[in-house]
Chain A
Amino acid sequence: MAEREPILEMKGICKEFPGVAALTNVNFRLFPGEVHALMGENGAGKSTLIKVLTGVYSITRGTVTLEGRTHEVRSPLEAQQAGISTVYQEVNLCPNLSVAENIFIGREPRRLGRIRWKEMNARAKVLLKERLHLDIDVTLPLEHYSVAIQQLVAIARALNVEAKVLILDEPTSSLDQSEVQQLFGIMRKLKGEGLAILFVTHFLDQVYEISDRITILRNGEFVGEYPAAELPRIELVSRMIGKALHLLEEMPKAPASAKSGAETVAEAKGLGRKGAIEPFDLRIGQGEVVGLAGLLGSGRTEVARLFFGADRPDSGKLTFRGKGGGTRGIQSPRQALDNGIAFCPENRKTEGIIDDLTVRENIVLALQAHRGWFRTISRKRQEEIADEYIRKLNINPPNPEHLVKNLSGGNQQKVILARWLLTQPKLLILDEPTRGIDIGAKAEIQKLVLQLAGEGMSVLFVSSELEEVLRVSDRIAVLRDRRVVKEIADQNISQQHVMQAIAGV
């Protein structure tokens, strides 16, 4: 690509929030007629960068130039007027208004204060047909159409303003394969018309399919800008995660054993849920730690939730060798609990702790639920249990009557762990058990996992930190784009192998 003038150039962008630097010296260039992918793990600063561009945040230092002029916007409206349009992840249109109204809302063609409906509908129709190849009835309410069409209408709305730069923030996360293709067709067409498109996604396949150029961020810092054709996938992944492959030191492996040959505890056959995870097979043996690796949005959490019955599968079957010995299906969290499955969800604050209750109440909750409402655990027994687990897991402050919402993240996580260990599960599912907690607590939890597996408990371990998954797992299932793509066992477990599988090479 010939070096033309970039339409948008950001130089040395710094954004500080009280106590945190969200962006440090980030550079970003966008040329007319290109699709530019912005990549990075969760928390890398992608959203912050977009919000700087669209006038939601101000910058602490750095310069932004749009078409050679300094670009200073103080509100999303100003950004739009300057020619930067954004389509956000969730379609934020009004489903009960017509397609035409949604496109023109706030800018309806008027005469003497009255909206000229005929003209508005006609213009909406032409806009959709000529620029997006979409021939639909624009007078129907938006909710009448599929999410994909709604996404396109959102793009049409963005284009309706004289757009020079189009930002698409995770536009494909709720689309299926053919809908993605439809969207890509339109992106190519717009690109051909000279529009500059900034594209954010977690799907690597899509990045390589559509983008010309890739900028990588990590921990709020600029890693580099590369032509897509010259950046191999494996490089992309290692730069996002922050480890060059040749520099990786071998991790001490989890004690390899005959575990993979052990008795099956849980087995998924063709288990899947539309829009969440493609049908997959996965077996977990007794005393085995199975790790799930993959980028954010690859379907890790969805697999974990299906194993617990937190979401209903719409295909396949999950069998579990329960406490009674026989195998049975798992349909709901309650069934999972009664059969000896435990689950620490990814979203600790909203799905894990009951924040207005005490540490003691949070700990006994699952066991009490298992016993039913009538067979009450006596107050005295509850206190003994709470004291025991506070000591065992080193929960701080060691006061069972403390409200759990006043504890730190790591201690809250331990409370949830205590809740489940108390039920003496056969299978423990941990989804991001160490997210947002400090190093010390992290190590304690990892040690605990290994210890429990040593005692014969099976563990399904999900984490976005690859090192952690490698450290604790006997076997790793790798996910990409909502599919289980590979299983890596014992001696083949290495960061390189897993990263190759994540990247799909």
Chain B
Amino acid sequence: MNRILKHHLFWPIAVLAALLLFNFLYSSDFFRIGMRGGRLFGSLIDILNFGAPLILVAIGMTLVIAAKGIDLSVGSVVAISGAMACLTISKGTGGDSLALVLTAAGAALGLSLLLGLWNGFLVAGAGIQPIIATLILMVAGRGIAQLITDGQIITVNSPKYQYIGSGALAGLPFSIFIVLALFLLASLLTRKTALGLFIESVGVSPRASRLAGIRSGWVIAAVYVFCGFCAGIAGLILSSNVASADGNNAGQWYELDAILAVVIGGTSLNGGRFYLTGTVIGALIIQTLTTTIYMTGVPPTITLVVKAFVVLAVCLIQSETFRQALVQRWKTRRYPAEREVARHV
């Protein structure tokens, strides 16, 4: 029992379960999964489908945070990637050819990798603090996305492109398979090779790692490139889902939700140990919360406040200090007099 309580996934899973339970009590339809037109649908499927971009971004963010960094530019990269893909398709001839869609995705991901490299260069090469270095692209990135879309919302009419974000494979949204593939890729890269060890080592102490022979700079650059790549794919899914690119609003606040997902998942903002599975659960918690808020009919004007309160509660539950304080109070609840006496002793 104690081992289960101490496991790093215990609290994230417990919170997710509590949220799902609440939804079940609120509406028994929540868990119903139906079949329509050869694909599954239902609230749970929606959470997975709409949560896909966030999970992707959060996976990239996990590695960046593990290396003692942070990437605030992911939201902007999401927008740029979507804009780039939609622009390529709208300018291209042959409307719905597979080649065009692949070119568009390639261009968008290539650009995302480049943006990640830029972040990596600023942090590892130029030695700028991560929060500032990526803030530059966070702000400038919105401008770049607007530049690509020429300030308009580009809509595309390409069923093949739309498949990325809203297609179905074996009855499940295609985006789920993308997430699964990327999660496996990240897990294999970090746990089956020594990359994970290097990232954690650099995250704990870049100086000591360098003196142990690790090329700290390259490791740091690599995680930003990977994070850019993840944000790029998220951008594809997001823009494909709505068949349009909005340079101004796409991927807004993603950086904050992603950081939150990473922290809820158990990875410390101080760098070092990271938990990819925890991050995925963290992202699912955030997505479930968003869905719950919409479903329970909280007025749109105060949804953010409600979300903030739930997030605060989640963070408090995860805090060891807070739990101990709570337990302490609970244990002494029946003896108010004792406390009164203790004060005078």
Contacts and interface: CB of A to CB of B under 8 A. Distances in A.
Nearest to A423: B213
20 contacts: A333-B210, A334-B215, A336-B213, A337-B212, A351-B208, A354-B201, A354-B212, A355-B204, A355-B205, A357-B200, A364-B197, A365-B197, A365-B213, A368-B194, A369-B198, A369-B212, A373-B195, A375-B194, A376-B192, A377-B194
B203 to A, nearest CB: 8
A270 interface: no
Interface in B253-282: 272-273
A314 B204 CA distance: 30
A14 B211 CA distance: 41
A141 interface: no
Given A365-B197, A376-B194, A350 B205 contact: yes
Interface string A364-403: 1110111111111100000000000000000000000000
Interface in B204-227: 204-205, 207-215
A345 interface: yes
Contacts of B195: 373
B193 interface: yes
Interface in A304-338: 308, 310, 333-334, 336-338
A352 interface: yes
At the interface, is chain B mostly helix, strand, loop or mixed?
helix
Contact of A354 (B204, B213, B215): B204
B213 A333 contact: yes
Interface string A15-49: 00000000000000000000000000000000000
B207 A350 contact: yes
A378 to B, nearest CB: 10
Given A356-B272, A365-B212, A373 B198 contact: yes
Interface of A: 308, 310, 333-334, 336-338, 343, 345, 350-357, 361, 364-366, 368-377, 419
Interface centre among A310, A368, A377 (most CB of B within 10 A): A368
Contacts of A334: 213-215
Contact of A373 (B194, B211, B213): B194
Contacts of A308: 211
B273 A356 contact: yes
Contacts of A350: 205, 207-208
Contact of A365 (B193, B201, B272, B273): B201
Given A357-B201, A368-B197, A376-B192, A310 B211 contact: yes
State the 3 A-B residue pairs at the shortest beta-carbon distance, nearest first.
A337-B213, A369-B213, A356-B272
Contacts of B211: 308, 310, 333, 343, 345, 351-352
A310 B208 CA distance: 11
A369 B214 contact: yes
Nearest to B203: A356
B212 A419 contact: yes
Contacts of A357: 197, 200-201, 204, 272
Contacts of B201: 354, 357, 361, 365
A488 to B, nearest CB: 29
A188 B210 CA distance: 45
Contacts of A366: 212-213
B226 to A, nearest CB: 13
Contacts of A375: 194
Interface of B: 192-195, 197-198, 200-201, 204-205, 207-215, 272-273
Contacts of A333: 210-213
A351 B205 CA distance: 8
B209 to A, nearest CB: 7
A333 B200 CA distance: 19
A51 to B, nearest CB: 28
Interface centre among B194, B210, B211, B215 (most CB of A within 10 A): B211
A357 B273 CA distance: 8
Contacts of A419: 212
Given A336-B213, A345-B211, A361-B197, 8 more contacts: A333-B210, A350-B208, A354-B208, A355-B204, A356-B200, A368-B194, A369-B214, A370-B213
Nearest to B214: A369
B212 to A, nearest CB: 5
Interface centre among A351, A355, A361, A372 (most CB of B within 10 A): A351
A400 to B, nearest CB: 14
Interface centre among A361, A369, A372 (most CB of B within 10 A): A369
A373 B212 contact: no
B215 A353 contact: no
A374 B212 contact: no
Contact of A376 (B193, B204, B207, B273): B193
B219 to A, nearest CB: 8
Contact of A356 (B197, B204, B213): B204
A443 to B, nearest CB: 26
Contacts of B213: 333-334, 336-338, 365-366, 369-370
Contacts of B273: 356
Interface centre among A337, A345, A365, A374 (most CB of B within 10 A): A365
A302 to B, nearest CB: 15
A356 B205 CA distance: 9
A294 B210 CA distance: 27
Contacts of B215: 334, 369
Contacts of B194: 368, 371-377
A353 B209 CA distance: 9
A354 B202 CA distance: 9
B104 to A, nearest CB: 32
Contacts of A370: 213
B208 A353 contact: yes
Interface centre among B198, B211, B212 (most CB of A within 10 A): B212
A250 B194 CA distance: 50
B211 to A, nearest CB: 5
A91 to B, nearest CB: 22
A365 B205 contact: no
Contacts of B210: 333
Contacts of B205: 350-351, 353-355
Given A357-B201, A376-B194, A352 B208 contact: yes
A311 to B, nearest CB: 11
A355 B214 CA distance: 16
A355 B211 CA distance: 14
A355 B212 CA distance: 13
A337 B209 CA distance: 12
Nearest to B219: A373
A364 B272 CA distance: 17
Contacts of A361: 197, 200-201
A223 B302 CA distance: 73
B66 to A, nearest CB: 11
A314 to B, nearest CB: 19
A42 to B, nearest CB: 22
Nearest to B207: A351
Contacts of A373: 193-195, 198
A343 B207 CA distance: 13
A353 B201 CA distance: 10
A370 B273 CA distance: 22
Given A334-B215, A374-B193, A376-B192, A354 B209 contact: yes
A371 B195 CA distance: 12
